[in-house]
Amino acid sequence: MSGTTTRAPGDLSSTTRDGVGASPRRPDGTLKVTGEFAYSSDMWMEDMLWGMTLRSPHPHARIRGIDITGALKLPGVHAVLTHEDVPGEKRYGLEYEDQPVLAFDKVRYKGEAVAIVAADHPETARRALERIEVDYEVLEPVSDSRRAAFDPECPLVHEDGTLPVHEEYNQHGNVVRHQPIRTGAFTGGEALEELRSRAAAVVSTEYEVGMQDQAFLGPESGMAVPAEDGGVDLYIATQWLHVDQRQIAPALGLPQDKVRLTLAGVGGAFGAREDLSMQIHACMLALHTGRPVKIVYNREESFYGHVHRHPAKMRFEHGAEADGTLLYATLEIVVDGGAYASATPAVVGVASSLGIGPYEVPNVKVDAYGVYTTNPPCGAMRGFGAVQACFGYESQMDKLAAELGMHPVDLRIKNAMKQGSRIITGQLMDTPLPMAEMLQRSKDMPLPPAREQLPDPSDLRTLPGGVANTTHGEGVVRGVGYGVGLKNLCFSEGFDDYSTARVRLELIGGEPVALVHTAAAEVGQGLVTVKGQIARTELGVERVTIHPSDTQVGSAGSSSASRQSYMTGGAVKTACEAVRARVFEIARERGLVSPGHPDAVLSLQGGKLVSETDGVLAPLADVLEGGAVEETREFHHRPTHMLDPTFGQGDSHTQFGMCVHRAVVDVDVELGLVKVVALDAVQDVGKVMHPQQLAGQIQGGSTQGLGLALMEEIQVKDSQIRNPSFTDYLIPTILDTPPMRIDVLEHADPNAPYGLRGAGEPPTLSSTPAIVAAVRDATGRALTHAPVRPEDIVGIEL
């Protein structure tokens, strides 16, 4: 991308090459670029069988019977299993154990797994599926999330007694979680009319965010291999090995240590691999047949095989004084969790606590609902509840600014949070938050040249519609928009999402080498590079080997919530510090350090033991002669707490991240087509660990937000997906992706290793509202639905 201005860190004085702050190459980079990297779908064993899944054709139906005899008779079929064959717990789930391993009694979404087959050829398995007869009694789908939330007559997706009980939050009917938040006048009851009467400007709007897909390129896949001890080894593309293990073992009726997981090559995740897909199924088939079983979903199946971003329906009202000072805000947000809970309760926790955004508002009333419907299940996706709210509150800021005749950036600065502010849950912003400065920097960035100043304004690639030749400039209007978002980083609400690292320092061929072993999932984000950088910086060695991630070491937590550099980075750093301390001890035992040198003046640099005062004391090789040094450490972030169920107060979040975007668009206002001309970001990351990978995260997050702004939506009608393919679920191409100027700030978070802040999610929040605001600026349309469709721009009702 042109104009990248990522700044290098200046405060870490590592003398070891490719340490923290440098941009070393990814260890898996060349393999991926040359097509030689083995993804999970590429695995192969000589005697393996192919697993395949029979899925429900109905979104809501009672199962009266399943007849597998026809499938079993087919030569080459080794197993046909249903819910009756689940050896242990029949349900699993990330937060609530409400999802059947294989459907029984009822199916609750179209595509729900009903039976599984193992055969010696995928085509045989497919034919076997056709011979399984399922007797369904079709039921009315529960498609409308607002009805599920508020209509007591709405049919239940989960009948009484089929749901686990969570007293405080899981109150009734189809509501998975309702989280209210009340501050200021709203804590005393009905205050809205009085606040309205005091406001100089009131804006009230309904917004919708469509169901976005993570659209990873590597479909769900893995291989289960039965072991001699009666257990199973699973090679799997996932985001969190240990949470998979925790759910798989009970379903198989096996102790945790008999279910061993190793991370296979992951082709993208973005939250979609947080839930199980084919894991238990492959293990069941492998244990049943005694053969390795491989399952690979195809693209259409993948759309049914993982959770999506919760679609949201939101009602916002904001009131402000004449000078722009926010007086009050109310929000009712309903997120559609689909058939099973997945991460819905946590998504509600984020959507509510960050529902009004990074603004000082004295009086706030929020009601956030996550509901069950018979729509496709929704769960984690980059941004996790904060994305939906951000589209709403940022749209409101623009509308309010217009109402008051203010520049949208000035209104935001007027109400900007800073260090010392409290978010609406009462939690103190106790780390730097230079929001006003970031907004000003965004406004002050140079604008891209006007169309007529381009070297060739008739170049179709610069125009909306591109080479499809729909305009030579006719109807094209430029617009500019801003967006800012606040994201919680790491897990929230009392969850101790610690990470574990084992670091070993030893001599190999006379040279000191560090081995870093964690269970953290490399899903493309580049943690594999960062772990090596940290080991180099902390241990002063150039050679670092990254052990494959598996369950032979303690949990690393999930590769989500922008948390792995913080948590697994923190664990690697802590383990390295323990190794280093042990090295100093050994050096003392061996007489290599004179008594006048406390640990504080010692360090490991360039393969040597160094004293601040006396320089090199000994080569590291001399210290390690007696054998390897190995330490395992857990790293925990500060404790967090659940929001209280009445007023929604509590210190629920670990860390906060912020990104500001300015989008410049050219819109063909007659055809409703958009070309994003520039999408510039200002982000505070605390500390740049790897400048190149950071730029990649910001570009990628911004582009995923662009997709949600302009094209990405799983269209669901009557609980059926209309576009389960990359032909019709459109994601941005390079011709849709503009140059991005990236301005990175480094205000350290003192709680975090190196002062870093998770960087992956914040850009995904702010880019969507910035782009939609720019399209509004160009068209004058209200545009309350993300993604904006051509119909919305030209004013055709849908």
Residues that bind other proteins (CB under 8 A): 300, 461, 464-472, 474-475, 670-673, 675, 710-711, 715, 722-723, 727-728, 730, 732-736, 789-791, 794, 796-798
Tell me whether residue 426 or residue 475 sits nearer to other proteins (CB atom). Answer: 475
CB 332 within 8 A of CB 367: yes
Instruction: Find all residues with CB under 8 Å of 34, minimum gap 6, and list them.
Output: none
Tell me whether residue 62 or residue 299 sits nearer to other proteins (CB atom). Answer: 299
Smallest distance from the beta carbon of 767 to other proteins, in angstroms?
16
Instruction: Find all residues with CB under 8 Å of 100, minimum gap 6, and list them.
Output: 83, 90, 91, 112
Q: Residue 430: which of 649, 749, 683, 762 has the closest Cα?
A: 749
Smallest distance from the beta carbon of 666 to other proteins, in angstroms?
11
Tell me whether residue 180 or residue 457 sits nearer to other proteins (CB atom). Answer: 457
Q: Residue 578: which of 519, 533, 528, 514 has the closest Cα?
A: 514
Tokens encoding 31? 């393999």
Q: Residue 311: which of 430, 143, 482, 86 has the closest Cα?
A: 143
Tell me whether residue 493 or residue 712 sits nearer to other proteins (CB atom). Answer: 712
CB 784 within 8 A of CB 314: no
Tokens encoding 727? 């032909």
Tell me whether residue 122 or residue 155 sits nearer to other proteins (CB atom). Answer: 122
Tell me whether residue 322 or residue 735 sits nearer to other proteins (CB atom). Answer: 735
Tell me whether residue 5 or residue 725 sits nearer to other proteins (CB atom). Answer: 725
Amino acid in the structure at residue 776: R
Smallest distance from the beta carbon of 216 to other proteins, in angstroms?
18
Smallest distance from the beta carbon of 732 to other proteins, in angstroms?
7
Q: How many residues does the chain have?
A: 798
Q: Residue 786: which of 109, 697, 776 has the closest Cα?
A: 776
Smallest distance from the beta carbon of 796 to other proteins, in angstroms?
5
Q: Is 758 helix (H, G, I), strand (E, B) or coil?
A: coil
Tell me whether residue 371 or residue 669 sits nearer to other proteins (CB atom). Answer: 669
Q: Is 327 helix (H, G, I), strand (E, B) or coil?
A: strand
Tell me whether residue 28 or residue 301 sits nearer to other proteins (CB atom). Answer: 301
For residue 750, say if its preceding peptide bond is cis, omega within 30 degrees of 0: no
Tell me whether residue 467 or residue 616 sits nearer to other proteins (CB atom). Answer: 467
Smallest distance from the beta carbon of 215 to other proteins, in angstroms?
13
Strand residue runs (E) in 152-200: 175-183
The CB density around residue 472, as the number of other CB atoms within 10 Å, is 10
d(CA 327, CA 201): 10
Instruction: Find all residues with CB under 8 Å of 720, minimum gap 6, and list them.
Output: 59, 110
Smallest distance from the beta carbon of 144 to other proteins, in angstroms?
20
Determine the longest span between alpha carbons in the chain, in angstroms: 82
Tell me whether residue 110 or residue 633 sits nearer to other proteins (CB atom). Answer: 110
Instruction: Find all residues with CB under 8 Å of 647, minimum gap 6, and list them.
Output: 180, 181, 182, 183, 187
Tell me whether residue 64 or residue 472 sits nearer to other proteins (CB atom). Answer: 472
Smallest distance from the beta carbon of 174 to other proteins, in angstroms?
27
CB 134 within 8 A of CB 63: yes
Smallest distance from the beta carbon of 789 to other proteins, in angstroms?
7
Smallest distance from the beta carbon of 737 to other proteins, in angstroms?
9
The backbone torsions φ and ψ at residue 725, rounded to the nearest 5 degrees and listed phi first, read: -160, 160
CB 498 within 8 A of CB 557: yes
SS (H, E, C) 216-239: CCCCCEEEEEECCCCCEEEEECCC
Smallest distance from the beta carbon of 773 to other proteins, in angstroms?
20
Smallest distance from the beta carbon of 336 to other proteins, in angstroms?
19
CB 620 within 8 A of CB 541: yes
| Residue matched to tokens 């210290």 | 623
Radius of gyration from C-alpha coordinates of the chain: 27
Smallest distance from the beta carbon of 779 to other proteins, in angstroms?
15
Tokens encoding 622? 């001399």
Smallest distance from the beta carbon of 704 to other proteins, in angstroms?
14
Tell me whether residue 57 or residue 155 sits nearer to other proteins (CB atom). Answer: 57
Q: Is 153 helix (H, G, I), strand (E, B) or coil?
A: coil
